[in-house]
Structure 1
Amino acid sequence: MKNVVLISLFILSFLTSIAQELKGVVLNEKTNEPIFGASVYFDNTSIGTTTNFDGEFYINLKQHISTPLVVSFVGFKTEIHSVKNFESKKTFKLEVDLNVLSEVVLESRDEWSREFKLKEFRREFLGRSEFGKKCVILNEEVLVLNFERETKQLIVSAKAPVIVKNESLDYVLTYDIEDFYINYDIKIKGRKNLEKLSKTVTFMSYSGTTFFENIDSGKHKLALLNREKAYKGSTLHFMRSIASNSLNEENFQIFKNSTKREPSRHIRILKNDSLNITKVAITSKLDVLCDGNRSSVESKVESFEIDNQGNHSPIDKVIFSGFMGNQRIGDVLPLDYGL
Structure 2
Amino acid sequence: MIMKYLGLLLFLLPYTCFAQLTIKGKVISEADGKPIPYASVFLNNETIGTKSADDGSFVLKNLNAGQHDLIVSVVGYEGYHKTLMVNTNVELPDIKLLPKTLILGEVKIGVDAKREKKLKEFKEQFLGTSAYASQCEILNPEVLDLKYNRDERILTGNSDDFLEIANNALGYKLKYLIANFVMDKHESKLTYEGSVLFEEMEGSDFQLKQWKKNRRDVYFGSTMHFLREVLANRVDSNYAVESKRIISSYSTSKGFASNRRESSDVLRTVDYVHPTEKPGIFALGYNTNLDVFYKPRTANGKAAKVHPQYATVSFTDPYLYFDTNGTILNPMGAVFSYAWGNSRVAQLLPIDYWPDGK
Is the pair's TM-score, using the shorter chain for normalization, greater than 0.5?
yes
**Is 1:171–2:159 an aligned residue pair?**
no
**2:315, 2:159 → 1: CA distance?**
31
Superposition pairs of residues 192-203 of structure 1, within 5 angstroms = 202-203=188-189
Query: What residue is the counterpart of 2:345 in the other structure?
Result: 329
Distance change >3 Å, CA 166–CA 140, structure 1 → 2: same
Q: 1:119 is paired with a residue of what secondary structure?
A: helix
1:103-152 CA-to-partner distances (Å, cap 9, x unmatched) read: 86479977x61111111111111111111221111111111222212221
- Residue of structure 1 equivalent to 2:236: 248
Q: Which has the higher contact order (CA 8 A, sep 6+)?
A: 1
Distance in 2 (CA, whole Å) between partners of 1:147 and 1:279 is 34
Q: Is the 8 A contact 1:266 1:283 kept in 2?
A: no
Match of 1:40 in 2: 41
Query: Is the aligned partner of 1:285 residue 2:317?
Result: no
Q: What do the CA deviations read for 1:253-311 (whole angstroms, capped 9, x no partner)?
A: 44555988655288455669x93455555454343232422212345667655432113
Deviates more, 1:81-90 or 1:291-300: 81-90
1:210 pairs with 188, 196, 199, which one? 196
Residue in structure 2 matching 1:99, options 97, 102, 108: 102
Stretch moving more, 158-167 or 121-130: 158-167
Given that 2:153 and 2:185 are in contact with CA atoms closer than 8 Å, whether structure 1 keeps it comes out as yes
Contact 1:179 1:206 in 2 (8 A): yes
Larger radius of gyration between Structure 1 and Structure 2: 2
Query: C-alpha distance in 2, partners of 1:225/1:262?
Result: 32
Does the 8 Å CA contact 2:156/2:183 hold for their aligned counterparts?
yes
**Counterpart position of 2:227:** 239
SS of the residue corresponding to residue 33 of structure 1 reads coil
Corresponding position of 1:230? 218
TM-score norm. by structure 2 comes to 0.74
Match of 2:303 in 1: none
Tell me, which stretches of 5 or more residues in structure 2 are unaligned? 1-12, 245-261, 295-306
Contact 1:107 1:145 in 2 (8 A): no
- How far off is 1:49 after superposition? 1.3
Name the SS of the counterpart of 1:130 in structure 2. coil
Measured at CA, do residues 96 and 107 of structure 1 come closer, stay the same or move farther in structure 2, by a change above 3 Å?
farther
Deviations 1:22-49 (A, max 9, x none): 1112223334333322111111111221
Question: Conserved in 2, the CA contact under 8 Å of 1:153 and 1:181?
Answer: yes
Kindly report which structure 2 residues correspond to 1:297-312, keeping only aligned pairs within 5 A, or say none. Answer: 297-299=313-315, 305-312=321-328
* Contact 2:191 2:335 (C-alpha < 8 Å) held by counterparts: no
Give the letter aligned to residue 147 of structure 1: Y
Q: Is the 8 A contact 1:295 1:324 kept in 2?
A: yes
Q: What CA RMSD, in Å, does the superposition of the two structures yield over aligned residues?
A: 3.2
Rounded to whole Å, the distance in 1 between the matches of 2:26 and 2:311 is: 44
List aligned pairs for 1:14-93, cutoff 5 A.
Answer: 16-17=16-17, 18-83=19-84, 86-93=89-96
Question: Could you say what secondary structure the match of 1:155 adopts?
Answer: strand
Moved beyond 6 Å, runs of 4+: 106-110, 258-261
Contact conserved, 1:108 with 1:146, CA < 8 A, in 2? no
Aligned-residue sequence identity (percent) comes to: 28
